[in-house]
Amino acid sequence: MLISQPPTSPAPPAPMLGRPWEHRHAAVAGLGSLAACAVYWLATRVVAPDVTPGAVEFLGTLTSLWSVWITQRRNVLALPIGVVSVALMGWFFLDIGLGGQVLLHWAYYLPVQVWAWWHWARGGVDGGELTVGRLGWPARGGWLAAMVVGTVVLGRALDAGWDDALYTTWDASIVAASVVAMVLLSTKKVESWWLWIGPVNVSAIGLYALTGATMFAALYVLFLVMAVVGLLRWQRAAAAQAP
């Protein structure tokens, strides 16, 4: 197996719709996300009206920021919010011709987010809440190899089957890294944040800026900061739970 689960004490199942602290945390993060997106939208209206985001891009950005914000603290509500965000973002990417991103969001992120929602709450020891863990070195090597193979295979598939797809190898590398990162996030592995930081966020900032998805490029700058914070939080949680 490529995912190794360290020994941990059983935890009770988590409520699928969150605990009171998760509701409060999600509400604050939602308001903060709305404020950040509104400021960006107003700024572009004044400074660069030609890149002002439309409704789908705005709502996709808002829900994505909201979901990632609360993921840092392992808030289970990040996952249903994430389902909404990936549906909207896939629609936007379809409009701008990033075929790999469409496949990533609709064919992968959408069903995996639904599964991860249950798995976070019930996927731990004896059906309890899942706890944070780390991968062993063999598993890390296996997932790295999967990313390389995925980049090559998807890049060729996009070249062959999507006439107006742009920057296919670059796009495919982000997709492959995102696929692996999402698996590891869904199983609460610390290593997921390393992938979100470099192969996904840093790379996506450049790709989205180049293709005119300026609001998503700005969003991924915030994601980069949040991924660093998430890494530090999850490392502390894993250390606290280590036997």
Q: What is the pLDDT of residue 227?
A: 96
What confidence tens digit (pLDDT) does each residue in 82-97 have? Answer: 999 999 999 998 988 8
In a domain, 169, yes or no: yes
Q: What is the pLDDT of residue 97?
A: 82
Q: What is the pLDDT of residue 1?
A: 42
In a domain, 114, yes or no: yes
Instruction: Give the domain range for residue 198.
Output: 20-241
Q: What is the pLDDT of residue 100?
A: 75
In a domain, 108, yes or no: yes
Q: What is the pLDDT of residue 163?
A: 72
Q: What is the pLDDT of residue 7?
A: 47
In a domain, 12, yes or no: no
Number of domains in the chain: 1
What confidence tens digit (pLDDT) does each residue in 207-225 have? Answer: 989 988 888 888 899 999 9
Distance of CA 175 to the CA centre of its chain: 11
Q: What is the pLDDT of residue 200?
A: 95
Q: How far apart are CA 8 and CA 82, in angstroms?
A: 27
In a domain, 96, yes or no: yes
In a domain, 6, yes or no: no
Q: How far apart are CA 70 and CA 179, in angstroms?
A: 20
Three-state secondary structure call for residue 198: helix
Q: How far apart are CA 92 and CA 192, in angstroms?
A: 25
In a domain, 2, yes or no: no
In a domain, 128, yes or no: yes
Neighbours of 199 (CB within 10 A): 20
Q: What is the pLDDT of residue 10?
A: 62
Query: Which stretches in the chain have pLDDT values below 70?
Result: 1-10, 243
